[in-house]
Amino acid sequence: MAMEERVDTNKGQMKIGFIGLGIMGSRMAANLQQAGYELIIYNRTAAKAEELVKKGARLAKSPLEVSQKSEVIITMMENPQAVEAVANGENGFLNLSGANRLWIDCSTVNPSFVNMMAKKALTKGFRFLDAPVAGSKAPAASGDLVFLVGGDERDLKEVQPLFDIMGKKTIRVGEHGKGASMKIVVNMMMAQAMVAFSEGTSLGKSMGISEQALMDVVLNIPVSAPFLSAIRPRMENRDFTPNFPLKLIRKDLQMVSETAYENGVSMPSANLAKDIYTRAMSDGLGDQDFSSLFGYLNK
């Protein structure tokens, strides 16, 4: 496809559709709006769109309407079922002929699902990038996300200005599905790091070491994942206001299990971590931040 056929990403001309205005999506969309892009937005709970509408965004009645009025569509949904509904449901945006529109899915979903949706998009004339993000609420608000991208390099180059507004770094991992593949690896390791740290702290306290001493030592030697130091105050204060809800990391671990099965790989420790998060969710922590596992294992 010739480069001259591609849409103009100049913010004065380009209309961006944004679907999914939760913890992450609302902040990503706000950064695009602040940078001067015209937004056409949709969210299943319309109230979450109010702040963007007050600042000039147009609220669509359906995902199909978003597609009708935008050149680039960004989705940031909670799970594959939600992505499927807005893309391919009764009023999904894929019901419209793509006419060379570009769909960027920033949702954390399993790679096999991404590959299926990419094929559906291409048959409808849409171009497609899977671009899940590394980062949570604060980086989404400050524009410091890291995008892990799968898809055509030319498509990525076209919309790089959008990624530069919403994030601090963009990494093209490879073809369709590779961004999603990298993301579930990242989230699997993050989930297990939280389990290991929480259990280690619990063991140390059982032997009479103070929680402060454990954090002072363990968080300052190479055995700990760096993100744990950043959230130390939240763990110390038992402040588990959701940046990344526990139910979502449990969902991601389920996708790890499914993807490992599809690829014939054994994931014993990841499956054990999933069971631990499932227990915590069953005890009412699903809507709290995933760091609430620390409090759960250090009662």
Q: Pick the catalytic residue from 183, 247, 251, 274.
A: 183
Mean pLDDT score, 189-210: 98
Mean pLDDT score, 68-84: 96
Q: Tell me how far CA of residue 95 lies from CA of 99, 187, 197, 277, in angstroms.
A: 12, 32, 47, 37
What percent of the chain lies above the pLDDT cut of 90?
Answer: 91
Contacts of 143-147 with CB under 8 Å at 24 or more apart are 143/31, 143/167, 143/168, 144/168, 145/28, 146/170, 146/171, 147/106, 147/171, 147/179
CA-CA-CA-CA torsion sign (53, 63, 33, 107): positive
105: nearest Cα among 73, 59, 146: 73
Per-residue pLDDT at 99: 80
Residue with tokens 């993000």: 133
Domains of the chain: 9-175 (3.40.50.720), 182-297 (1.10.1040.10)
Q: Is the pLDDT of residue 12 over 80?
A: no
Per-residue pLDDT at 13: 66
The answer to whether residue 183 is catalytic is yes
Mapped onto helix, strand or coil, the DSSP state of residue 18 is strand
The Cα–Cα gap between 103 and 235 comes to 38
Q: Is the pLDDT of residue 110 over 70?
A: yes
The Cα–Cα gap between 213 and 88 comes to 53
Instruction: Give Cβ neighbours of residue 214 (< 8 Å, ≥ 6 apart).
Output: 200, 201, 204, 205
Average predicted confidence (pLDDT) for the chain: 94
Q: Is the pLDDT of residue 10 over 60?
A: no
Around Cβ 68, how many Cβ atoms within 10 Å?
15
pLDDT tens string 119-130:
999 999 999 999
Per-state percent for the chain, helix, strand, coil, to nearest 5: 55, 15, 30
pLDDT tens string 245-282:
999 999 999 999 999 999 999 999 999 999 999 999 99
Confidence of residue 9 (pLDDT cuts 50, 70, 90): low
Q: pTM of the entire structure?
A: 0.91
pLDDT tens string 210-253:
999 999 999 999 999 999 999 999 999 999 999 999 999 999 99
Q: Is the pLDDT of residue 184 over 80?
A: yes
Q: Is the pLDDT of residue 2 over 70?
A: no
Residue with tokens 């999904």: 92
